[in-house]
Amino acid sequence: MDTYKLYLNGEWIDTGSHRVVADPGSGEEIARVATGDRDLARRSLEAAKRALPGWRALTGIKRGDFLLAVADGLRRRAEEIARDITRENGKPLGQSLAEVHATVDHFRWFAEEARRAYGRVVPHQVDGKRHLVLRQPIGVVAAISPWNFPLLLAARKIAPAMAAGCTVVLKPASQTPVCAIKLAECMHEARVPAGVFQVICGPAAPIAAEFSENPICAKISFTGSTEVGKKLIEASAQTVTKLSLELGGHAPVLIFADADFEQAVEGAIITKFRNTGQSCIAANRIYVERSIYDRFLERFVERARELKVGHGLEAGVDVGAMVNQQALDDAIAHVRDAVAAGARLLCGGEAVPGSAGFFLQPTVLADVPDGAVCMREETFAPVAPVVPFDTEEEALAMANNSRYGLAAYAFTSNFTRAFRVMEGLEAGTVCINDAVPATSNCPFGGMKESGIGRELGIEGMDEYLETKHVSIAGIG
Ligand code: NAP
């Protein structure tokens, strides 16, 4: 079993306390990772504060060069880090490798953005005055990341924050600390100055309390559940610590009768079952126009049954292990609740028998009533509820009837409908005939209870820049 230290102020620290990380696909203990407490979180913020002036003073081009060196390190070690992701998260190896390559692209994108933190010169309204708008790094940033895309979602915070000139302390999810530590190794190898990037693992609540209450921490960037996001809003109220929140989702998928049928089925399969259904933008409600409903169900179930479930390191696996026993139990509870409410279970619904890991058979539910829990609360699992609709207006109303607004999908070949639907859907990301939307160069984030702020795109670095107006009098 490998043992990992924390990365603080440019050094590898063994705190003497450890957490064991287990492979959700086999139960095997794979790593021992040092853990820190609230005091260590405070010390990491202090080191980040000391590193800030030097890092902020570098040109954007120089900071970008460091980010490119980190990207190169990740690329060189892509196979190794992908295996780490699969072993601690459970997802199929091909999807882990795709995650590493997308992370490399995030670092490369923000390396370029580092040189583009433009301010403005604003024409004056009073003689003798001049006005400048400066864009400056916000300061020390604490990043808290989830386990479902453990490298990628951490990078969406770290890369733009460092590009902007901020220093960063990362607290990764307890289930998936290894790839965060591998990222720290890449930072170390790239000679990123001490204190600019640090990793602290350990119990979330006290570490997050330090981030919220310590005035050194200018910003918390969080990805995870809406429940924890709300706690962070409350906790930050006293210090008015800035927040970016990437929270839960409940994505609707609208499939119209005029869609390319096979493209729609494949799109629904991908958006539901990729990452074992444990994606914030995963389909949670699939609405299908009634005239193709039965045909869709037949083909969708056929494709769901074809998906190979197994350990993420096995060749050809499409659906890996769920993250832990609780996640598996919650998913099965959602299925049973839906069936009790009147839904038809067409396939799956049970754990894969005789397995040492947390495997759920790909599950399809039809005619799921509105009152079922899965129609309101996120089912973070390979469980697909399908419901018929009759009109576009009804489909849009059902899609928007949610407290979440992260992603939404529509499949249609009617051009004007595509525009009506993209404008009408209440979601930060809308996919038309697409199932995998996220890309380094476009903004990502949620409306309603799905979050505050945006990651990626040119908006991604804005989250780590303060805006300062400078007013100058007595000129000319
Ligand atoms: P989670 O339980 O909220 O955990 C996310 C992170 O928050 C982990 O690092 C966790 O640490 C930490 N945490 C737990 N309790 C905390 C507290 N009281 N204060 C501060 N931090 C705390 O969420 P999850 O189960 O890992 O992730 C699944 C959720 O994330 C889903 O709702 C999903 O939709 C959402 N998500 C959203 C996006 C997006 O971009 N909008 C992307 C991915 C996932 P420990 O692991 O140590 O508990």
* Domains of the chain, start order: 2-247+450-472 (3.40.605.10), 251-440 (3.40.309.10)
The neighbour count for residue 246, using CB atoms within 10 Å, is: 27
Whether ligand 1 lies within 6 angstroms of the CB of 388 is answered as: no
Whether ligand 1 lies within 6 angstroms of the CB of 249 is answered as: yes
Is the distance from CB of 404 to CB of 225 less than 8 angstroms? no
* Sheet-wide strand order for 217-223: 11-13, 6-8, 197-199, 167-171, 140-144, 217-223, 242-246, 451-452
For ligand 1, atom 22: residue with the closest CA: 204
For ligand 1, atom 20: residue with the closest CA: 208
pLDDT at residue number 71: 99
Whether ligand 1 lies within 6 angstroms of the CB of 235 is answered as: no
Query: Quick one: which of 334, 382, 392, 335 has its CA closest to 359?
Result: 382
Whether ligand 1 lies within 6 angstroms of the CB of 247 is answered as: yes
**How does pLDDT run along the chain (476 residues), one tens digit per residue?**
899 999 999 999 999 999 999 999 999 999 999 999 999 999 999 999 999 999 999 999 999 999 999 999 999 999 999 999 999 999 999 999 999 999 999 999 999 999 999 999 999 999 999 999 999 999 999 999 999 999 999 999 999 999 999 999 999 999 999 999 999 999 999 999 999 999 999 999 999 999 999 999 999 999 999 999 999 999 999 999 999 999 999 999 999 999 999 999 999 999 999 999 999 999 999 999 999 999 999 999 999 999 999 999 999 999 999 999 999 999 999 999 999 999 999 999 999 999 999 999 999 999 999 999 999 999 999 999 999 999 999 999 999 999 999 999 999 999 999 999 999 999 999 999 999 999 999 999 999 999 999 999 999 999 999 999 999 999 98
pLDDT at residue number 270: 98
346 CA to centre of ligand 1 in angstroms: 31
The predicted model scores a pTM of 0.98
Give the distance, in angstroms, between the CA of residue 190 and the centroid of all CA atoms in the same chain. 25
Whether ligand 1 lies within 6 angstroms of the CB of 228 is answered as: yes
Atom of ligand 1 nearest to the CA of 203: 47
pLDDT at residue number 44: 98
For ligand 1, atom 17: residue with the closest CA: 205
Number of H helices, E strands in the chain: 14, 23
Question: Quick check: helix, strand or coil at residue 132?
Answer: strand
22 CA to centre of ligand 1 in angstroms: 18
Whether ligand 1 lies within 6 angstroms of the CB of 322 is answered as: no
222 CA to centre of ligand 1 in angstroms: 8
Distance CA 420, CA 427 (A): 14
Is the distance from CB of 250 to CB of 378 less than 8 angstroms? yes
Contacts of 198 (CB under 8 A, 6+ apart): 6, 7, 8, 9, 44, 47, 48, 168, 169, 170, 184
Q: Which amino acid is at 157?
A: K
> Which residues participate in catalysis according to the annotation?
246, 280
Distance CA 238, CA 222 (A): 18
